[in-house]
């Protein structure tokens, strides 16, 4: 079903951009009769919405949408803990704050699928995948900064999210880089 959502989303986006960027310009400078290619763009746009809706409804009625696989947890070279200490180890030096930051967004086609899913219910897998990728990227950047400082671990790790604009989300991973013995 995901392939049908993708095809429907692509048709919608192609129709929308043709309608807005080509059609509006054409209508301004030419007679108000709608040309055949503009009608086709409108049909693509509405047809795309219809295909996405049908695929989501079919997927939901066939036992629910399968949960999207999140990116695999990072196999870090450093221990990453949300506690202030590392069990069984002694912190000998605090190197300071390390952080990783990203602002992540999904493309318009996936946004359309998520909007339709809001109407019929269920997990917004498009956004779940987006936040999983953003989390992994932010943590990888934080670990990279800790490695540059020569850290043995990152403790007291926290994640913070915020909505930036539309379907873009900001994710900040931060913690304290430490050396241990």
pTM: 0.63
The answer to whether residues 102 and 170 touch, using CB atoms and an 8 Å cutoff, is yes
Mean pLDDT, rounded, of the chain: 82
Tokens linked to 52: 């996405």
Tell me the per-residue pLDDT of 103-125, one tens digit each, with 9 for 90 and over: 988 877 777 777 777 777 888 88
What's the pLDDT tens digit per position in 32-60? 677 778 878 877 877 777 787 677 667 76
CATH number of 91-107+124-180: 3.30.110.70
The residues spanned by each domain of the chain are 2-61, 91-107+124-180
CA–CA separation, 51 and 179 (whole Å):
55
Task: State pLDDT tens for residues 158-177.
Answer: 999 998 877 788 999 999 99
């Amino acid at each position: 079903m995901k392939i049908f959502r993708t095809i429907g989303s692509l048709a919608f986006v192609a129709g929308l951009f043709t309608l807005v960027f080509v059609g509006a310009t054409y209508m301004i400078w030419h007679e108000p009769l709608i040309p055949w290619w503009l009608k086709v763009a409108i049909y693509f746009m509405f047809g795309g919405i219809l295909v996405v809706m049908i695929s989501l409804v079919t997927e939901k009625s066939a036992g629910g949408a399968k949960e999207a696989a999140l990116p695999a947890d990072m196999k870090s070279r450093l221990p990453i803990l949300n506690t202030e200490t590392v069990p069984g180890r002694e912190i000998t030096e605090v190197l300071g704050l390390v952080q990783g930051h990203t602002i992540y967004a999904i493309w318009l086609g996936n946004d359309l699928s998520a909007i339709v899913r809001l109407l019929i219910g269920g997990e917004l897998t498009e956004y779940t995948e987006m936040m999983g990728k953003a989390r992994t990227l932010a943590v990888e950047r934080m670990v990279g900064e800790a490695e540059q400082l020569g850290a043995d671990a990152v403790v007291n790790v926290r994640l913070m999210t915020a909505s930036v604009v539309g379907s873009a989300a900001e994710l900040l991973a931060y913690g304290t880089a430490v050396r241990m013995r």
